[in-house]
Amino acid sequence: MIWLELHILGTASARPAGARDVSGSLLSCEDGIAVIDAGEGFQIRYALQRKRLKLHTPTGSLRAARIDVVCLTHGHLDHTWGLLPWLQTMSLDRRTRPLLIVGPTSTEVLDALTDGRAIPDSAPPAELARQMQSWHSLGATSTQLGYEVRWILGDVQADSWIELDPTSQTAAQIPSLPQPQGWRHVNIVPLATTHTVPSCAWMFETKEKAGKFNRLKAAELRLTTAQQTELGQGRDITLANGESLAASSFRSAAIEPRRLVVSGDTAERAPGIAALSAVDVIIHESTFLDDTKDHATEHLHSTATGATRTALSCGANHLVLTHFSARIKDPNVPLDEATKEDANNSLTISVAKDGDRILLGSSGQTTHLSWTGDGWAA
């Protein structure tokens, strides 16, 4: 059973390059769909992926009505510039479902906004709060769009969050990061990263599920409905003849949580990612190669080998490389460098192309489906 499915709609860094567009992904799960970043042209790439699914995977669906949350990794325009037009398109399509938009900022900006002050001049031009305020002035409010939008900003390391009110142009502290409305099976978790502006990765973690109750065994023992209810709720029972029945013997093994991480832009071994102890699959930026690692250090990006070190540090099983500089023409080069860094062959490593799908199953198995131009192939 597929629990999480990631659609990668852009693998370029900074600007479109050849067959690569800028950042944007969608994470589909049984609760709904999350958008992770939306660089320029996002809605065009989203529409194209929907068309591909309709033609080649009839059971797949990326309907806009299922999208509940937009998770922004930071404020650079190659990750955000396509959001406003897409919000307005959904208004034209008469969307009614509420939408949650979340992203990182600094404590300095949070304090200013909650105190009713302007964003400090020291905040970077690409500060997400600046962009959100400009989007509000251009019509991205619940009233003007015709559907409810919640705007959430937070300092991820401090776990401090505010909600912006576009109508009153005020901000209020909230106790924690809200989850998308109606989501019960998957948690969305921000992870602190290291970049030139406030940034974070996003982890999608399924909740542990109880194993299946063995109704056949219960029927064979002629247990009453009340007895089955007790066992189903995890309570041991004693039969009239004195025999004890353990609730655990009536359920298969619990289904463990699964984790998928999308890094956004970051230097290697970012604190929030490195603090993890087990990850099924991580999609990590690999902007530079080793021969330009000084650029990675200067601009707080990662190399392909740095992505491997990050994946190893968080106990990942599968690393997917993405977000490549226009200098990287041959995807086999970052793949080779990343593979050599994994001296013990601990990882499965693959390279993302625009349109690829990453499937994560309930048992932790991952499948990287590459877009071929006429469907997907493993």
* Domain spanning 2-208+255-377: CATH 3.30.565.10: no
The more confidently predicted of residues 151 and 253 is 151
pLDDT at site 59: 75
pLDDT tens-place string over residues 45-84: 999 999 999 999 877 789 999 999 999 999 999 999 999 9
3 state DSSP class of 248: helix
- Taking each helix axis as running N to C, give the angle between helix 128-137 and helix 83-92, from 0 to 180 degrees, rounded to the nearest 10: 30
Rounded-to-10 torsion of CA 31, 37, 39, 41: 0
- Mean per-residue pLDDT, 5-34: 96
CA distance 26 to 9: 8
pLDDT tens-place string over residues 140-196: 999 999 999 999 999 999 999 999 999 888 999 999 999 999 999 999 999 999 999
Cβ 151 vs Cβ 100: under 8 Å: no
Per cent of the chain over pLDDT 70 is 100
> Is 208's pLDDT higher than 80?
yes
pLDDT at site 365: 94
CA distance 265 to 14: 10
Per cent of the chain over pLDDT 90 is 93
**pTM of the entire structure?**
0.92
pLDDT tens-place string over residues 274-294: 999 999 999 999 999 999 999
CA distance 205 to 186: 5
CA distance 153 to 36: 15
Ordered by start, the domain boundaries in the chain are 2-208+255-377, 215-250
CA distance 307 to 151: 31
